Amino acid sequence: MEINLLVGGPSSEWPSNLFKNADKKVWVGADRGALWLIKNGIHPTIAIGDFDSSSVEERNLINQNSQKVYTAKPEKDDTDTELALKIIFQSFEKISRINIFGATGGRIDHLLANLFFVLRSPFCDYTDKIFIFDRFNTINFFKPGSYMLQKEEDKKYLAFVPLTTVKKLTLIDEKYQLSQKDFNFPVSLASNEFIGETGSFSFETGIVCVIQSKD
């Protein structure tokens, strides 16, 4: 099952096609994201958040238009994104993919939290199923192995970002190549590019974030 999660980042960062065929998809809204879904004609399967910045009218709108609502305490250990993901893990079986929107832009601390949560349990169990999208970028995460990436038609740039210690990172057929390079700390290997329609890479330990982006 493929799940779409809209969280509370600025709408200016949404992909232009965010709501294309939205009525045929499963949606979860995290805090302000739930309200935005409803205002765009989508009834989320789940709405989750503390809703502390929402008016009484907005909370009523969320309650009336969501199949299920989870209200959290404002003082909590998880971010809205993390809390929503935990509810998704509990609520759906056989999750094939989770597409996250609204997780970039705005506050830098939220952006960093949304990049690094994949390193912790229970999120690390779903590392390869989590994708983050905004108007400029597609972000996904990889555990050790060998992979072939498919170039997105509208994207020019390709970045490899070791989020942990990574051993023997090899970029095989990208514009700028590497051969079994070790990294002992997080680093962004930015502004690489595909040569063709695919790009291959491999590594032996750690977690690598891959970003396809455009200007």
Q: Give the pLDDT confidence of 25-44 residue by residue, as tens digits.
A: 999 999 889 999 999 999 99
H or E segment and range at residue 99: strand 97-101
Q: What band does 20 get if pLDDT is binned at 50, 70 and 90?
A: confident
Which pLDDT belongs to residue 56? Answer: 83
The sign of the dihedral angle between the CA atoms of 37, 43, 49, 50 is positive
**In terms of domains, do 89 and 143 share one?**
no
Which pLDDT belongs to residue 57? Answer: 87
Could you tell me the CATH number of the domain that includes residue 199?
A: 3.40.50.10240
Q: What band does 53 get if pLDDT is binned at 50, 70 and 90?
A: confident
**In terms of domains, do 116 and 148 share one?**
no
Note the Cα 144 to chain centre separation in Å.
19
**In terms of domains, do 116 and 141 share one?**
no
Dihedral pair phi/psi, residue 88, rounded to 5° = -60, -45
- Cα–Cα dist 186/181, whole Å: 13
- Cα–Cα dist 171/141, whole Å: 16
Q: What band does 48 get if pLDDT is binned at 50, 70 and 90?
A: very high
**In terms of domains, do 5 and 97 share one?**
yes
**In terms of domains, do 149 and 206 share one?**
yes
- The 3-state DSSP class for residue 209 equals strand
pTM of the model: 0.93
Q: Is the confidence at residue 96, as pLDDT, over 80?
A: yes
**In terms of domains, do 179 and 102 share one?**
no
Name the domain boundary from 135, 169, 184. 135
**In terms of domains, do 68 and 121 share one?**
yes
**In terms of domains, do 67 and 155 share one?**
no
Contact in structure between 74 and 31 (CB atoms under 8 Å): no
- Cα–Cα dist 204/110, whole Å: 29
Mean pLDDT of all residues belonging to the chain: 93
Strand pairing report for 46-49 and 130-133? unpaired
**SS3 of 115-183:** HHHHHCCCHHHHHHHEEEECCCEEEEEECCEEEEEECCCCCCEEEEEECCCEEEEEECCECCCEEEEEE
